[in-house]
Structure 1
């Protein structure tokens, strides 16, 4: 287990945080954590109870705070996700509760959510469905940013459902329009049968990593495998979602599905081969890698 080098405290006097943050950043970098300096600052801000941008103006660590900071940095150096340590994940304009049992939402998924928000805003009272909702990141972002939308979030894993319901309740308490939570397997043949032909926007961030891919420790040790891996080729969930979405979407309704960066050709091809979609396009993430596909449900007479 990695540990920070100890430095003597000065009783109840406060120790300047900058040297401790610098040492923590070096430890995290040595442990292979990307963005080590930023994460060290976020942990310091968390311990001090201030926004990261105000660290320079904050009082230094008390002895107890320094001990806590050291312990949290040690956990992060052992590759426990930062979001599990702090208990929250930032996503667009939200802070979501996360922890063991639920997939930590990633920044790249904000692009799919943003596309969904744009599409939903085109309607007056759109019906939006989020499949494989996990923590509820996409569904809750749409509900917050498109108050006129009816949003349905579907999740099948019991532990993830607990986090989804907690986040949905928190956001409703904060004044956002409530999200309807449905416990269901998204690959089910009769999924959301009562909504067939009525959905305006359907979004999905499914498990899509091919089974043999080696993932970072934060993912392999802490994210639920069922939310990460999508079978041998990564398409085990995407295939039935593509088929079911065509039933759920109204003519002219739109679909957005995140996928592995190796799926930039194969997932659009699945949509083309299905025959019920038009305007199929793949989109890159901020690193230029293929990340999500969009399509429009073909009109009945199209």
Structure 2
């Protein structure tokens, strides 16, 4: 188990939030693993849960927090195990899809979050939608962006290219990967902030492993679990909104299955926003406003 030194998170641009930590059990060994999360805004307000993907961390949501808190919301943004300020495991085989779901399930139940508005992107959706399926009563509404819940198919040329790069590049440049997935050019300091959780390559085993875990073939793990999750989502009648971007080669068009299959998505004001795969970096003000208006019933 590896823990990124705290001093690597000092002075990051636009990121001045108090850290919060919670322990979950590693199911294989029983040892505690520490999950980091941000928790801003009034403690008695219904939470907006912002879930990141690969290879980012909650820094991705730094520009959401102020507007949502100013609008009266409690904002919670965790770092997945292997990312951000959360603990990292030293072997790639320590990371599986099901273990990620279990870690975040334990964290969610430990915080006893309810009446949740979920915003999820990339692996934040692959894990976040599994949380919805496991605990549908805890979620009030969903905002789904540039993600999906594959069940043995659904690859794309963009994803195939990313998978190849992620497994062959000698040094895994997390910050530059995020920068390549945005429409705007990140500053050097922002790129460095995405590199901050990873002092060297030994900290990146989770980031390396994630692309191989996406269940896009029948032989992948978690296909049956995702099929079961879809059965719950196909009965989820609470409001569901899609906000995909217009310039993501990996997930383009993925909103169609969500709109067609989840009852709560019918009749909603689905939108396409400008941006790349990491649309949070390209359209933060617009997305924060969409979340706020969706919660308030606009």
TM beyond 0.5: no
Bigger relative contact order, structure 1 or 2, given CA contacts below 8 A and separation 6+? 2
TM-score bracket for the superposition, by shorter chain length: 0.3 to 0.5
Length-normalised TM-score, structure 2: 0.36
For the pair shown, the structure with the greater C-alpha radius of gyration is 1
Length-normalised TM-score, structure 1: 0.35
